[in-house]
Each structure stands twice: as C-alpha cells, then as structure tokens.
Structure 1
Amino acid sequence: MARINLLPWRAERRKQRQKEFYAMLGAAAVGALALSWFIVAYYGGQIDGQNARNAYLQQQIRMVDQQIKEIEELDRKRARLLARKEVIEQLQANRSQMVHLFDELVRTIPDGVQLTSIKQTGNLLTIDGRVQSNARVSSYMRNIEASGWMTNPDLSIIEARDGDRALPYVFTLRVTMTTPKPAEGEGTAATAGGAQ
C-alpha cells in the first residue's frame, strides 16, 4: 500500500521558515545595533579626541596671546626707552649748542640792531628785533651766514614803526641752527684731548 503523509508539512515548513526568518531578522537587528553602537562609539571617540585637541589648541592659543601681549608691552617699553635714549643722546650732543648759539648771537649783532625776542622751534630760530636801517639788517644777515652755528637767514618782515626814532625799523628773521663741522686737525685734536 502506498504511504500517504497526512501531516501538514507545508504549514510546518512555513513555521520553520518563519522561525528562520525571525531568527535572521533578530540576528540582523542585533548586528545592526552592534554596528551602529561601534560606529557611534568610534565617532564619539573621534569627537572626544578632536575636542581634547581643540581644548589643547585653545589653551596654547591663550598662552600665545598672553605672550604676544607681553611682547607688545616689551616692544612699547623698548620704544619708550629708545626714545628716551635718543633724547638723552640729542641733549648730550647739543648741550653746548645753546651756549655757542648765544655767544654767536652776541658776536653777530652789529651796532644799531636790538633783538626783542628769540623763539626756537626745532632747529629753526625766529628772531624779532629793531634796527636803525635796512643796511644794518643786511650786515646782520651776512654775519649770521658767516657764523658756524647759524645758517640760511631769511628775512620775513622789515617795516618802519613810529615808536623809537633811534631804531625805527622792526624786523623778523628766520635762521636755521646748525653744528659746525670741525676741521680735520681740530677734530683729531679734540678726539685725542678727549681720550686723555
């Protein structure tokens, strides 16, 4: 007799396949969760590492900014000190210039000229005065030009005023102060004398 299988094998097979499907689906879900956890952990570690590097860089930037501020402050102090040094050197170089200037003013003034004011702006002197005649002003300008401590006399104003009959003209003269260059023999002698 022929054997007939009356068991519901198709339903059993369908159940078996469903179990396998759910098992594979569960395994895929577990694998996907594990993979996503690894990805999140990896990128989280990368982000944490980058954040740590950023924090370190920010700290280093703050330190460098502080050093830059200190350097800028030192540069400002250096500039102030150099300016002071330059002023001191200029004063040292020109300390006798005023003495020589007043000495030359006395030597160059001809008779019939009276100075009323002297103003200094840098190396420029503005001399105001009274004079007997135009010829006296010309003589004064020649004397200034021949002086070693003053040069480039420039007559700005000369005009007659009624106030003083002995000195009827008022003048304004601009003169450039200079330091005379010593002759070679004088410079060598001065250097040798200064060294002793």
Structure 2
Amino acid sequence: MMTIEINLLPWREEERARRTKRFALAMALSAVIGLGAGYGSILYLDQRLADQQQRHQLITARMTELDRDIRAVSQYEEQAASLKRQIEVFERLQVGRPQTVHVFNALVDSLEEGVYYSKLDRQGDQLRLSGLAEDNRRVSDQLRQLEASSVFDVPVLSQVESAANELRSFNLSVNQHMPVGENADGIEGTEAP
C-alpha cells in the first residue's frame, strides 16, 4: 500500500493567519464603530447639555425680570397705600374745615357780653376754653349759651377763680358735634323729593 502523505501545516497556518487578520479587522472595525458611537453620544449629550444650559440661562433671566417686576409692583403698592393715606388725610381735613369754621361761628354766636376767651385748645371733638368774665352770673350765662348751641354738648365747668380787676377767670370743656341736618360742608341738608 502506498501512503500518500499530505502536509497540511502550511494550509493551517495560512488559514490561521487569515482568521487572525479577519479577527483583527473585526476588532478594529468594532473599535472604530465603538469610538464613533461614543463620540456621537458625547456630541449629542454635549448638545443636550448646551441646550439645557441655555434654557437655564433663559429661566434665570426671566426670574430676574420677574423679581424686578415684583419689586416694582411692591413699590407701586406702597406708593398707592401712601397716596391712599394722604387722600384720607386730605378728605378728613376737607371735612374738618367747614366744621372748624362752624365751631368758631358757634363760639362767636354764643359769646355773652362781658365774657372773653383767652385760650382755646382742641383735641379731637373736645374743646377746652379758658377765659375771663365780669362776674359769676356771666359765666353761668355763657355755659347756658354753649349748651343751647346746636354745635356743642353740655359744657363742664372745671374752675372759676377771682382774677385781677374784679374779673373771674374760668376753665371749661365742651364736646363739639355736627348738628343734625347738616352735611360735612356745613350746609343744611335738603331732603330728596
């Protein structure tokens, strides 16, 4: 019999070299694809991060504007409240002007002959009057005149003393009020038809 010997060693080495080359090529290709995918992912995430930072900057800018607007509105509200308080003061003063004139007119109208006022203090609706009278009877008459006035309540006499030149000094207090039937302007009210 005859034996044929075939040497397969070079063929195996060529096949192994081819497989090694193919494997190296596949590994290189996988590495390139992996690097490309990684680089693409990094670019995508960087773009997302840049977009997010841009949105954050926009939101921060809007919040700054809103804070500025809120401060401005708060200042406007404070100014409006201040103006409202000033208007209320002006209205009270406007209402009080005719009332003060009315009080002085009532004081003049109720003044008895021989009675002189030397001092007048006003706190709210209470008047404190100091003055001189020729005698005690005139002080009593003055108290009755004030009580009869539609502008004053019952006066309270706190002190009567003898003064120089046979005059009597007196101190009294009386509450004032707007007479019924008169409005804030001191004009008698008229009923609607």
Kindly report which structure 2 residues correspond to 1:1-196, keeping only aligned pairs within 5 A, or say none. 1-5=3-7, 7=9, 15-16=17-18, 18-109=20-111, 114-129=116-131, 136=139, 140=143, 143-151=145-153, 158=159, 160=161, 163-164=163-164, 166-167=167-168, 170-171=170-171, 173=173, 175-182=174-181, 186-188=188-190
Contact 2:115 2:142 in 1 (8 A): no
Question: How many angstroms does 1:112 deviate by?
Answer: 7.0
Question: How many angstroms does 1:74 deviate by?
Answer: 4.1
Helix, strand or coil at the partner of 1:120: strand
Q: Take 2:154 and 2:24, find their aligned partners in 1: how far apart are those partners? A: 111
Letter in 2 for 1:171: N
Contact 1:115 1:129 in 2 (8 A): yes
Helix, strand or coil at the partner of 1:43: helix
What TM-score does the superposition give when structure 1 sets the normalisation length? 0.63
Question: How many angstroms does 1:101 deviate by?
Answer: 0.6
Letter in 2 for 1:115: Y
Question: How many angstroms does 1:176 deviate by?
Answer: 3.9
What TM-score does the superposition give when structure 2 sets the normalisation length? 0.64
Q: Take 2:35 and 2:132, find their aligned partners in 1: how far apart are those partners? A: 108
Helix, strand or coil at the partner of 2:9: coil
Contact 1:114 1:129 in 2 (8 A): yes
Contact 2:110 2:145 in 1 (8 A): yes
Give the count of matched residue pairs: 184
Q: Rg bigger for which structure?
A: 2
In structure 2, the CA distance between the partners of 1:101 and 1:11, relative to structure 1 (3 Å rule), is: same
4+ residue segments displaced more than 6 Å: none
Question: How many angstroms does 1:182 deviate by?
Answer: 0.5
Question: How many angstroms does 1:167 deviate by?
Answer: 1.5
* Identical aligned residues as a percent: 27
**CA displacement, residues 137-183 of structure 1 (integer Å, 9 cap, x when unaligned):** 7962x65455333347566x5375x7545325x5352x444322307
Structure 1 stretches lacking a partner, 5+ long = none
